[in-house]
Chain A
């Protein structure tokens, strides 16, 4: 079967948008069968036919294989017809003479590689030429030779295994083929061909065509969608195995291949370790991972090997360890489910309870809420800490919270539990309280929690009479036995603010004198308004539990509900919900209404539907955008997906891209070297920079007077997608040699604005003497003034102070303006250099002398006359922190207003030295401490 020929007719179906951006898209993502078989070579036919099922058959191939043992050639014909319907029933041109056995055979062996590599340059794919290239590629890739051979071996085995299994009536029949046992292959021309092939290789060895290889690699990775996942030997064929993926695969994107691995029960981990079973290597694998592979002596597979594994592997159920483990898991699940059942039965027997809420009408989240500490999923350590703290509460109170205790918690009267929703914070708090015999008083966002209410309604002094009134056997609504010990659970404290004025402050005050334990629960620990609370409590951050911590619990619930959900589907749901147990339970209970089982795809779909929208940080977005995968040929992200990243934060992402776009090593020039690489690289940079420049033009249309907000998508493309599409590549990550950084534009821009304002001030002051605008002032005057008002201080020190001050007075400059002039210097006049050369004594003397003298002033600035803003501090008891914050912000505005109003009338002071200067020489850098308090503006 001559593959080269066959691939030609398959042309890209939809133009990929990547091509639009200059990416080298060259292949169809469409899963069209690649190999339109030909009947050119009857001698070879049996082989090529065998080859196909592994490589190119679609996964759920509905047409059953021809069952009747037909003559082989005939069978192939049938099969081919099937496929050709999908492609084009075009009789492939006969390229080879039937007798050309050897060459065609060799072709075949080359094929798998050819598929992954040779498709990169569709334009160069002329059949005869290509064939030569393929050979050469294999030959030249000396390092890969080994794996290549290996792979071919496997391939062959698979091929033969398939061939053997073929007469079986159904495709799904597990193909029993342990790897190690050599197959007793039906005798064919294959071995001969193979050896010949190898011989060919060795003869070709000396003259590898490097240029061809480089050209091929430069074309980017091959053919997304060119390979099909073979039908698996067993739905759980990868169970018990852990995989690491590294580098870029030719036909699948990273997400897809991970998805496939999970689908078949495999475990995917990020970094290879000694416990990793397989590492799937793609092109350009990370060096650290390769080192780890070497170190741990791990088995590696390539893409085809991995697919092969799926097609052939059957988890060995006879492995006693595995079996035991499985059984144990099953038992645990069953037992847990039984427990649940028992508990429910028991509960229903208690008449009072059952009447209250019938179990069947309860939400799953309530029905299956953990009843013991053992049942809490994840965060075990934190929950134990909480329990211990509650346990020790009484003694801590007695000791006045002086003894830290085992966890150092016993000095706090309150704990603050923080963590994302749905991971059991409230549940754990209630459970611990109950187990330690406290009566929980819960206040949550549905209760008004203002200062007054908190102080009055809570039982801070622990004087509950509940227990005494009702006797010992009673319980409250939540089913908690009422005792004389109570415990305050403040749920959702971060929701406290809007209507609850002073809430957090009151809560802190309450905590400080509380005689009962207080448990506060919040989502976001970093929130501004929780800052004071964080300082006054012991913090117990809860993390999202791992999928395996939740799995068994969910499995037993599913079992109890008689739902059939495999473990990998549960995992899928858990990851999809970001470990939100509550959400998974809700999802399951909804699913239960429609069906009792869920397969992988359904699970994925369900998780997708319930996906929570999370905003990524600009760092993550930049990392993702500029990283090697976003624009690679196997990436499945559409233009919209890429633009979506921009819309996570449209004001910051472009700045981040601009800051970091030069920090990668572009994937597009990875395979070049020397001048060519430099040239290409610079050209890519040029394109990216031009695009950024475009984006700024678009931005000015959006934010300018026109307000064309509809141009946002264009801005997304110009500012983010396009630059990244040129320069994406590795090296720009967190740990690369060019770590990603926060845009300096923001800082530089505000510095520019500040200096601009100060320069404007100076210009306004000098206006009476100088005709220039502020630009001229900066460019001509400041360098010219420098020798008169700065240099003498550097050269002569204190003795020059008087002349400098005179010169400043000539131009109505004050002490602040002197600082600005210095700050505006560049290069050798850089302010840090200059200030280093001026001694502190000189600076102090300048400040002191300036302040002690009277100076002519050009005009009053509004601020100069303003009364000192009254601080509203120390009025009554210290207000709640939030309030204080607001007040602070308001202060500066008001006095300024007044100052503005009376300012306008006082300005006839020009050139008239006043008795007391209003020039507010603020003591500057050096002389701050010693400077006299500045004279107040008298006229004001």
Chain B
């Protein structure tokens, strides 16, 4: 028995609960026979991949649901071996090039060319082309994106590409101009509540109090996946009767603790303690920008109005630095120290500008 979020995932475009206009357009595109390259973008938990899967089903029929995972080995020019997992059906395949970090270019080049040069062998296939879904397209390196450019035009007859990204800002313009951009916005609270009710129906229980699911929807912040996961967890724990308290995930409470530590004390010792905690968060695979964002918003909640803007400003500055740099902890720590300094400054109200 899987989790509800996986159980009741819509399989076809008709089953989707929101963004009906988008669904209609996708259906039209799939039927037209002139299917373009596409770029789905939107926040996580909005339903991008669900829509991609539905569209593929619309294009090729049920065959696309027969998935298998391949592990392919690619060789870099420096003779390093790269393992890449490829999820594929007879009609499409799905890769996550960011798995191999900086070597994603190799994967893109080799794999796409290989597919582009093979024609569809299944005579019953509805379309001559195969679809390649590239996940986490916004983490593609510049080189990999450049490698995509020409391939996308040259092999149009054999292949279509669907890119899936959280934001288009990191994609180069040539790629964007070759794709049909499809924005999958986060669902509204009402839409999320509708989905939750649908799930409850399928699960055969009734929701007596709309406030409960509304609270869940609010907490999820537009992430339907999160909402459904929390929904299920709460159902299992409390039965969803009466008031609920939504438990934060482990990493979030941990981030909040770090935020509290920053506010409680400002000293070198405290910075070193915070550093240990940050290391803990990073090593447990919490992305540094999420760490920074969570801590910053927690700190901002607790400090005086006049400091909020500054703290967020510096968080933004160091987030950019984090993206450019390699060692995330350096920037996180610099931000922590900056906040401590600002905070202490505020508390003492001393003008230190004269100090060199």
A residues bordering B, Cβ < 8 Å?
22, 24, 658, 662-663, 675-676, 678-683, 685-686, 689-690, 692-693, 695-697, 699-700, 703-705, 744-745, 748-749, 751-752, 755-756, 759-760, 764, 767-776, 778-785, 787-788, 806-807, 810-811, 824-829, 858-862, 900, 903-904, 907-908, 910
Contacts and interface: CB of A to CB of B under 8 A. Distances in A.
B144 to A, nearest CB: 12
Report the 7 A-B pairs with minimum CB-CB distance, sorted nearest first.
Answer: A859-B69, A783-B249, A696-B325, A784-B229, A771-B49, A689-B334, A693-B334
A780 B227 CA distance: 10
Contacts of A781: 3, 229
Contacts of B45: 776, 780
How large, as a class, is the contact surface on chain B?
35 or more
A858 B226 CA distance: 24
A808 B102 CA distance: 32
25 contacts: A675-B350, A679-B348, A685-B340, A690-B334, A693-B331, A693-B334, A695-B330, A697-B324, A699-B326, A703-B326, A745-B279, A752-B282, A768-B69, A769-B2, A773-B44, A773-B96, A775-B287, A776-B45, A778-B286, A780-B229, A780-B249, A784-B3, A826-B251, A828-B250, A858-B69
A697 B85 contact: no
Contacts of B71: 859-862, 903-904, 907
Contacts of B233: 784, 787
Contacts of B287: 775
Contacts of B313: none
Contacts, number: 211
Contacts of A907: 68-71
A776 B225 contact: yes
Interface stretch (B14-22, B28-36, B264-272): B264-272
Contacts of A683: 341, 352, 355
Interface in B196-226: 223, 225-226
Given A759-B285, A904-B72, A658 B330 contact: yes
Interface string B310-331: 0000000010010011110111
A662 B268 CA distance: 6
Given A697-B325, A859-B71, A748 B250 contact: no
Contacts of B110: none
B321 A811 contact: no
B271 A826 contact: no
Contact of A686 (B49, B285, B331, B341): B341
A782 B252 CA distance: 13
B196 to A, nearest CB: 15
Nearest to A824: B284
Given A751-B283, A769-B2, A910-B69, A685 B337 contact: yes
A696 B327 CA distance: 6
B304 interface: no
A703 B87 CA distance: 33
Given A675-B348, A787-B236, A859 B284 contact: no
Describe A's contact surface by its main secondary structure: helix
Contacts of B330: 658, 689, 692-693, 695-696
Contacts of B191: none
B344 A682 contact: yes
Contacts of B355: 679-680, 683
B356 interface: yes
A873 to B, nearest CB: 26
Contacts of B348: 675, 678-679
Interface string B122-141: 00000000000001100000
Given A679-B344, A776-B45, A827 B253 contact: yes
B260 interface: no
B44 A776 contact: yes
Nearest to B66: A910
Contacts of B329: 745, 748
B341 A685 contact: yes
B114 to A, nearest CB: 13
